[in-house]
Homo-oligomer: A and B are copies of this chain.
Amino acid sequence: MLTGVLEAAVYADDLEEARRFYGQVLGLTEIAARRGRHVFFRCGGSVVLVFCAEATRTPPPPGAALPVPPHGATGAGHLCLAVAEADMAALVTRLQKAGVAIEADFCWPNGVRSVYVRDPAGNSVEFAAPRLWGLDR
């Protein structure tokens, strides 16, 4: 009945830094933003949500038309974005040109390569092909 991850969330205090990283460095398309609260990006058939936890921990006021439940985490989260194996080398070049340090770069026992960096807030962002999990996309 559930067909995929529609939204994955990470938290960042500085949303402008997040915008530069996810938007300009990674090249995701920004689809929504509210200053001081969030900036959202489309990534293929999914959405990457970057929230300022201090803002999203506030519960909606009673009777709100859109009573979005509060949430908000502290510390390094994790996210993995899909990249075709044929595009991995170009992605790594892009990250390096942007000055993003590669924290880890190795192949899993099934031969699929994972590359890990940190977003400006310290979240662990991985890049890997869907074949890592036997998934074709």
Contact = CB atoms under 8 A, between A and B. Distances in A.
Contact of A133 (B31, B72, B81): B31
Interface in A20-37: 26-28, 31
A98 interface: no
Q: Which of A1, A27, A67, A77 has the most CB of B within 10 A?
A: A1
Contacts of A43: 2-5
A48 B90 CA distance: 27
B53 A4 contact: no
Contacts of A7: 5, 8, 78-80, 126, 133
B137 A4 contact: yes
Kindly state the interface size class of chain A when it binds its partner: 35 or more
A8 B69 contact: no
A1 B90 contact: yes
Contact of A75 (B45, B74, B82): B74
Given A2-B27, A3-B82, 17 more contacts: A1-B87, A2-B82, A2-B91, A3-B44, A4-B43, A4-B45, A5-B5, A6-B130, A6-B132, A7-B79, A8-B9, A46-B46, A49-B78, A65-B106, A68-B104, A71-B76, A71-B77
